[in-house]
Amino acid sequence: MKEILRLMVVLTTVSALAGFSLAYVNEKTKAPREYQDRMKLLGSLNTVLPPHDNEPDKDAVEAGGTTYYISKEDGAVNGIAFETSSDKGYSGLIRVMVGIKPGGEVIAIEIVEQKETPGLGTKIAEGWFKDQYKGKSLANARWQVKKDGGDFDQISGATISPRAVTSAVRSGLEAYEKNKQQILGGGHDVQ
């Protein structure tokens, strides 16, 4: 009985020390992690938005469960960015940052996260693939890959990944159009 009690005290002490250590490390690294997350977000935003003189992550609006990052130049809105995704990639989730003009025309896209097959599906992150979305909108494009009768190139041997990206961008544009008045009309600012 004494042995069991001693083991309980030792295990409780070790567990408590481990818990306090993890809490301490978490607290000390919180600010640097938040800074790195913000830098990663700003990098994506700067890739898909036109030149701007504001901080789009601070001029953000939430609508329909999505955060829309507003870029401005001389006080006028010149771009909106948002993240959209599809879980229909060959290896699961594909996250895409999309930059658009206020009218809904794509400026650029950036693949934020993907786990597609190296050498095949990962080609969705290459410039030639992403560039085909520039200038496209819901009104001037058929939002499917060419194999399915649409306007967007697929990748030989990896049609699933381009389908997922195209679908994600299309659904993001549809959500923007649905919430456009709230986004551009001054919804709730995200802090």
Q: Which residue has the tokens 């829309």?
A: 68
Give the list of residues 6+ apart from residue 172 with CB closer than 8 angstroms, or none.
66, 82, 83, 84, 96, 98
DSSP the chain: -HHHHHHHHHHHHHHHHHHHHHHHHHHHHHHHHHHHHHHHHHHHHHHHSPP-SS-TTTSEEEETTEEEEEEEETTEEEEEEEEEEEEEETTEEEEEEEEE-TTS-EEEEEEEE--PPTTTGGGGGSHHHHHTTTT--TTT---SBGGGTSSB---TT--HHHHHHHHHHHHHHHHHHHHHHHHHHT-EEE-
Domain boundaries, the chain: 1-191
- For each of the chain's 191 residues, which pLDDT tens digit applies? 888 888 898 899 999 989 988 888 888 888 888 888 888 988 999 999 999 999 999 999 999 999 999 999 999 999 999 999 999 988 899 999 999 999 999 999 999 999 888 888 889 999 999 999 999 999 999 999 999 999 998 888 778 999 999 999 999 999 999 999 999 885 444 33
pTM: 0.81
Beta pairing, strands 60-63 & 92-100: unpaired
